[in-house]
Amino acid sequence: MVTTDVAVSGPAGWLVARALWVAWLAAAGGVVAAAALAATGRWSPATAVAGLAAGVVVAAASTRHVLRIQRAELDNLAAQVDRRAEQVTALSHELRTPLSMIKGAADLLLERTPGPLTAAQERFLSVIGHQCTHVVSLCESLLTQAKIEAGLFTPRLEAADVSVLARDVVTAMRPLCAQRQQRITLDTPQVTPRIAADPLLISQALTNLVSNASRFTTVGGNVDVRVMAVDTGIAVYVTDDGAGMSREQRHRLFRRFATGRPLEDGTGLGLVITKSIVELHHGAIMIDTTSARGTTFLLTLPAGAPE
């Protein structure tokens, strides 16, 4: 028997599903009628079998037509995703190049290569450099997310030690936390089982989580990172003692340009990318947060390689 799962969306999807339902209903009616006629002797068995076959052929033809429509719809969606990825790539390139030049010029001025600076000039140049870095980082995030959505970002799996990756991320984040007078700690097992993962992608996901925790932790607060070996693989906890989130704010997470905290810096792309990276590894990301009581992100990665 031929079966299918219709996934075409919108009015076209409704029409396709209804047409397929009617076709199979007609075929079923033909089957019942042919069987009844054959049982009463009005038709010969050969005629009944022919009627059954005709009904099945009609239903199968309708199914093939539905599948063609479904494939065309999927091809169209794939083409739209590819076009979006190309547009984001072009936009990111056009923005990164001039911004990098601006930042380079600001850095040269800060080094006082052309000449001395006043305190006000130095302060303004620092702002220029910081904002350029922020926008370049945004371009990189948009580019990464577009590639993931277009299926162009395939993990390069190798035997990875998540504890080592977490240690490197925490070490890199210490200066930023020190600027905010925050204390960052790391707790790892003595021996961490290696898992099949892309070290660069996992490091980016961990950096996003730790950076997010630091951003929303008050001055003098704490950020704790913990790596654990569990039955299914590896679990990573990133906890902050910041303001936490309400239920409404939590529902806005993992959406582009939604940080979950109103009037705060950030685009929300970091968590979107982190979730995509984890899902590429067949893992999961969860959150435990309460308003005024801090937030914990839990990232789990399976022991086996993604299929």
Report pLDDT for 283.
93
Strand order of the β-sheet with 284-289 is 183-187, 222-230, 233-240, 295-302, 284-289
Report pLDDT for 227.
96
Task: Name the nearest CA neighbour of 240 among 211, 270, 269.
Answer: 211
Please list the ranges in the chain whose pLDDT falls under 50. 1-9, 11, 260-266, 306
Q: Are strands 183-187 and 222-230 parallel, antiparallel or unpaired?
A: parallel
CA–CA distances in Å: residue 276 to residues 40, 106, 154, 211: 62, 34, 11, 17
Report pLDDT for 243.
82
- This model's pTM is above 0.75: no
Residue carrying the six token digits 């019942």: 32
Q: Which residues are within 8 A (CB) of 250 and not within 5 positions of it... i.e. 6 or more apart?
A: 260, 287, 289
Report pLDDT for 179.
86
Q: Which residues are within 8 A (CB) of 137 and not within 5 positions of it... i.e. 6 or more apart?
A: none
Find the helix or strand (DSSP H, E) in which 183 lies.
strand 183-187
- State the number of CA atoms in the 13 A half-sphere of 217 facing the CB: 27
Which DSSP state fits 185? E
Chain centre distance of CA 284 = 11
**Tens digits of per-residue pLDDT, 267-287?**
567 788 888 889 889 999 999
| Cβ atoms within 10 Å, residue 278 | 19
Report pLDDT for 21.
60
103: helix, strand or coil: helix
Q: Which residues are within 8 A (CB) of 18 and not within 5 positions of it... i.e. 6 or more apart?
A: none
Report pLDDT for 16.
53
Alpha-carbon gap, residue 227 to 238, rounded angstroms: 9
Report pLDDT for 195.
94
Alpha-carbon gap, residue 210 to 177, rounded angstroms: 10
Alpha-carbon gap, residue 83 to 81, rounded angstroms: 5
